[in-house]
Structure 1
Amino acid sequence: MANPAKAKGTAWESALVAYLRDHHNPAARRNVQMGAKDIGDIDGYYLHALEAKAEKTITLSDYIAQANREAIHAGEPFGCAVIKRRMRGAADAYVVRDLATDVRLMNRLRDMEDALRSVYSDLWRDVDAKHREAA
């Protein structure tokens, strides 16, 4: 690849896809760029349009605005940017979203947990225990 910045971005996207396939969703994949109607860099991060960033100069406001715009294009309720940490792998990346998006996500999680707990309390306890052990 003739453009070193593009090669760095492609390598970062590929590393994120590999991590997501191993730890979240085996069907995660890189998206084809869509121009003005871009839907994010990676598909398969549950409920999110994911914007991957591996840049020397970090501009959070631009990344979040882009991720939120791309979430709308992708039909996803949430957008986030996954920012590479220098000299670190995918597991050490930063996931960034604005507070309004995070509050919507937490409200959804709370409401879904309450619904599950009220209908299937034993299942909720098992799932809760599993995720507490993983922390």
Structure 2
Amino acid sequence: MSNPNKAKGTAWESAIRDYLNYELDLVNDYGTFFDPMSGENIRRAAQEGSRDVGDIHAAPFVLEAKNTKRPAVPTWIRQAEREAEHAGFPYGLVVRKVRLQHTHMGRVHVSVRTWTRIRLALGMSTSAFRELYGWSVSLRGLDTSRWYLTTTVRELADLIRDYRRTVPGVSARALR
């Protein structure tokens, strides 16, 4: 790969995919899927041009992976939500690399609207959802479209597991 930035992005996407597959017990110790055909597997998505479908599919979430020096979280969140819509998934999240940290410490960002939809699907109160998954709030001025919530990739693995156990019919096949 001749573009070093693309190589960094691809490496970050692969690290997220591998970490989530391992944490969700979808692969063995060698990284081989227990069920290669399962819609539950976390996979890097093929790029589809102007109708991009996100970087990683982790049903019911589409993850947009970012490995950059300067954050632009509200813009990235809008991109992730648009790409989730293109992919036919209900939720778009951003996963940003934290320099010099392990994959599980990556930051997961979500809009207030999407956070609320996930919380309601799980049937949880605001405080219980915030505490269980370690969400923190970022309020950027008076423009509510720039507000978002943040947790870690480690907590995201727990959220995916719990969502799949709690909400009936969640798999990549059921979402298409």
TM-score range, shorter chain: 0.7 to 0.9
Q: 1:25 to 1:72 in 2, by over 3 A?
A: farther
Q: CA RMSD in A?
A: 1.4
Q: Which amino acid aligns with 1:61?
A: P
> How many angstroms does 1:90 deviate by?
1.2
Whether 1:74 aligns to 2:83 is no
Bigger radius of gyration among the two: 1
User: Which of 100, 103, 121 is 1:108 aligned to?
Assistant: 121
In the alignment, does 2:49 pair up with 1:49?
no
Distance 1:74 1:96, change over 3 A: same
How far the C-alpha of 1:24 sits from its partner, in A, is 2.4
Give the match for residue 19 of structure 2.
19
Helix, strand or coil for the counterpart of 1:97?
strand
3-state SS in 1 of match to 2:63: strand
Matching residue within 37, 40, 49 for 1:35: 49
AA in 1 matched with 2:9: G
Deviations 1:77-103 (A, max 9, x none): 111000000111210011101001100
Using structure 1 for the length normalisation, give the TM-score: 0.78
2:42/2:59 contact within 8 Å kept? no
Q: Distance in 2 between matches of 1:16 and 1:24?
A: 12
Name the structure, 1 or 2, with higher relative contact order (CA <8 Å, separation 6+).
2
- 2:101 corresponds to 1:88: yes
Structure 1 alignment gaps of length 5 or more: 112-130
Aligned-pair CA distance for 1:62:
1.3
CA distance in 1, matches of 2:99, 2:54: 22
Separation in 2, partners of 1:80, 1:23:
18
Structure number with the higher helix fraction is: 1
When the two structures are aligned, how many residues end up with a matched partner? 111
Could you state the TM-score of these two structures normalised by the residue count of structure 2?
Answer: 0.60
Q: Aligned letter for 1:36?
A: S
What is the aligned-residue identity percentage?
A: 41
**Number of the residue aligned with 2:111:** 98
User: What amino acid is aligned across from residue 97 of structure 2 in structure 1?
Assistant: K
- Cα 1:19/1:80, change in 2 over 3 Å: same
